[in-house]
């Protein structure tokens, strides 16, 4: 069998490709392969609404059965890709099935990273899948002391959820602040204060070196100082690695992801979207890989348009990440680079309801909303403007301008 479009991975990015093709009037054959046996589902709720029990697992599904049927695609669950022959336009599944394609889209996402040096033990968890979320929930409910390794978005969300379930929670993070790469030091310090106020023990500047265990069960986390943090459950949230092992020997360029040009093309008739795609690579640049839900969908829709000749120029997204922790919604458009000047543009830091601007080299490069979704409607327009960032507004009682860190 030869599919007109074969998509490997049926989560947000892969599903967006199929839906985008149909939206543009494509009537050819589409095959969607998914290594998991669950229908396509959303990942952000796994560390929040599904993990804390507010949502049943099925509520995380991206589409109903009727909506998937209406897509007119051949959706194959439990179908794991094993090898790719780019010149021959053939893909081999783990069970030996060989599929042909005219165009291939890779949307395989990430595998969770683990701490080195020790095999998995009972009571130690990672979180990538719906099954992971169910297992972690059961582990949290049975635990009293929880240690989360990593204070990125996922680690912080899991810590907030575990604390909401009444558990004693410790977070260990090698950086000086949680979400340092996303928020910068000043706003990272605000997030640290939020967690501390809710009873999380936050240990920054503290690398974790491994797990301790007894009789096959985790008992704690060992830090670089040699100290052991006791735990009944440990969650390792130290990032993910692109799911590209099966592409070794395929001829594609792999560099912490599938390397693509600025139109998300990895090779003739091969494209990549979502967490696995390193796009915009070219002479003198390694390209960019974005790990967020919004990019997966936007990139999938872009590739669908590109395949049909409807894309307008190269793929140049404005990065967007959001997170909910302890009833606080934090949204980041663009980036907050190291050394950027971060100023409160609207609202109040004291009330924890504000919009902050990150400026570097005289340009606005990031907009952060803290419990202020309504004030972010123009964020993308501001970030894509050609003119330099405007000077922050004058200090008033309601719209203070505060330099939090860095130099203008």
User: Please, are residues 162 and 146 in contact by the beta-carbon 8 Å criterion?
Assistant: yes
| Domain at 327-405, CATH from 3.40.50.1100, 3.30.390.30, 3.40.50.10330, 3.30.2320.80 | 3.30.390.30
- The dihedral sign for the CA sequence 12, 18, 19, 24: positive
Q: How confident is the model at residue 118 (pLDDT cuts 50, 70, 90)?
A: low
What is the bridge-based pairing of β-strands 265-267 and 98-106? unpaired
The set of residues, in sequence order, having a beta carbon less than 8 Å from that of 90 and lying 6+ positions away, is 84, 98, 99, 100, 101
13: pLDDT confidence band, cut at 50, 70 and 90? very high
pTM > 0.85: yes
2-111+241-307 and 114-238: identical CATH topology: yes
* Cα–Cα distance measured from residue 349 to residue 88, given in angstroms and rounded to the nearest whole number: 58
HSE-CB of 359 using CA atoms within 13 angstroms = 21
Domains of the chain, by residue range, sit at 2-111+241-307, 114-238, 327-405
Q: What is the pLDDT of residues 32-70, one digit of tens each?
A: 999 999 999 999 999 999 999 999 999 999 999 999 999
User: How distant, in Å, are the alpha carbons of 115, 135, 387 from that of 166?
Assistant: 26, 18, 49
Residue 293 has pLDDT above 70, yes or no: yes
The predicted structure's pLDDT at residue 395: 32
Q: What is the CATH number of domain 114-238?
A: 3.50.50.60
- Tens of pLDDT, residues 218-262: 999 999 999 999 999 999 999 999 999 999 999 999 999 999 999
pLDDT at 406 over 60: no
| Percent over 70 (pLDDT), the chain | 93
SS (H, E, C) the chain: CEEEEEEECCCHHHHHHHHHHHHCCCCCCEEEEECCCCCCECCHHHHCCCCCCCCCHHHHECCCHHHHHHCCCEEEECCCEEEEECCCCEEEECCCCEEEEEEEEECCCEEECCCCCCCCCECEECCCCHHHHHHHHHHHHHCCEEEEECCCHHHHHHHHHHHHCCCEEEEECCCCCCCHHHHHHHHHHHHHHHHHHCCCEEECCCCEEEEEEECCEEEEEEECCCCEEECCEEEECCCEEECCHHHCCCCCCECCCEECCCCCEEECCEEECHHHEEECCECCECCECCCCHHHHHHHHHHHHHHHCCCCCCCCCCCCEEEEEECCEEEEEEECCCCCCEEEEEEEECCCCEEEEEEEECCEEEEEEEECCHHHHCCHHHHHHCCCCCCCCCCCCCCCCCCEEECCC
The predicted pLDDT at position 201 comes to 98
Predicted confidence (pLDDT) at residue 403 exceeds the cutoff of 60: no
The winner for highest mean pLDDT among 197-201, 212-216, 370-374 is 197-201
- The β-bridge relationship of strands 233-236 and 145-149 is parallel
- Distance of alpha carbon 245 from the chain centroid: 19
Taking all residues of the chain, what is their mean pLDDT, rounded to a whole number? 92
Q: Given this structure, which CATH class describes domain 2-111+241-307?
A: alpha beta
CA angle, corner 294, sides to 60 and 237, nearest 5? 70
């Amino acid at each position: 069998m030869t599919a007109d479009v074969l998509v490997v991975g049926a989560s947000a990015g892969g599903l967006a490709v199929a839906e985008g093709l149909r939206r543009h009037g494509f009537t050819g054959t589409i095959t969607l392969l998914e290594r998991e046996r669950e229908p396509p589902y959303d990942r952000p709720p796994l560390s929040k609404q599904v993990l804390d029990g507010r949502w049943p697992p099925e509520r995380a599904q991206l589409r109903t059965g009727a909506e998937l049927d209406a897509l007119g695609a051949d959706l194959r669950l439990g179908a794991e890709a094993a090898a790719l022959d780019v010149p021959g336009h053939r893909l081999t599944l783990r069970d030996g099935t060989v599929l042909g394609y005219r165009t291939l889209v890779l949307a395989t996402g990430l595998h969770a990273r683990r701490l080195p040096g020790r095999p998995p033990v009972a009571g130690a968890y990672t979180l990538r899948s719906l099954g992971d979320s169910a297992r972690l929930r059961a582990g949290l409910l049975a635990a009293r002391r929880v240690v989360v390794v990593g204070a990125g978005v996922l680690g912080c969300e899991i810590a907030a959820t575990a604390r909401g379930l009444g558990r004693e929670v410790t977070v260990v993070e090698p950086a000086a602040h949680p979400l340092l790469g996303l928020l910068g030091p000043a706003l990272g310090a605000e997030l640290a204060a939020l967690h501390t106020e809710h009873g999380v023990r936050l240990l920054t500047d503290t690398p974790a070196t491994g797990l301790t265990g007894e009789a096959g069960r985790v008992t704690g986390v060992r830090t670089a100082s040699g100290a052991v943090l006791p735990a009944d459950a440990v969650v390792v949230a130290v990032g993910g690695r692109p799911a590209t092992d099966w592409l070794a020997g395929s001829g594609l360029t792999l560099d912490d992801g599938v390397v693509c040009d600025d139109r998300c093309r990895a090779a003739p008739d091969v494209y990549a979207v979502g967490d696995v795609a390193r796009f915009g690579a070219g002479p003198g640049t390694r390209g960019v890989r974005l790990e967020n839900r919004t990019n997966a969908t936007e990139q999938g829709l872009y590739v669908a348009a590109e395949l049909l000749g409807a894309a307008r120029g190269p793929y140049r997204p404005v990065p967007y990440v959001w997170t909910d922790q302890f009833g606080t919604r934090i949204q980041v458009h663009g980036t907050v680079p190291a050394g950027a000047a971060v100023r409160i543009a609207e609202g109040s830091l004291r009330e924890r309801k504000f919009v902050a601007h990150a400026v570097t080299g005289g340009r606005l490069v990031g907009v952060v909303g803290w419990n202020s979704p309504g004030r972010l409607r123009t964020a993308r327009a501001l970030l894509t403007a050609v003119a330099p960032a405007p000077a922050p507004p004058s200090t008033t009682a309601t719209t203070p301008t505060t330099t939090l860190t860095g130099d203008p």
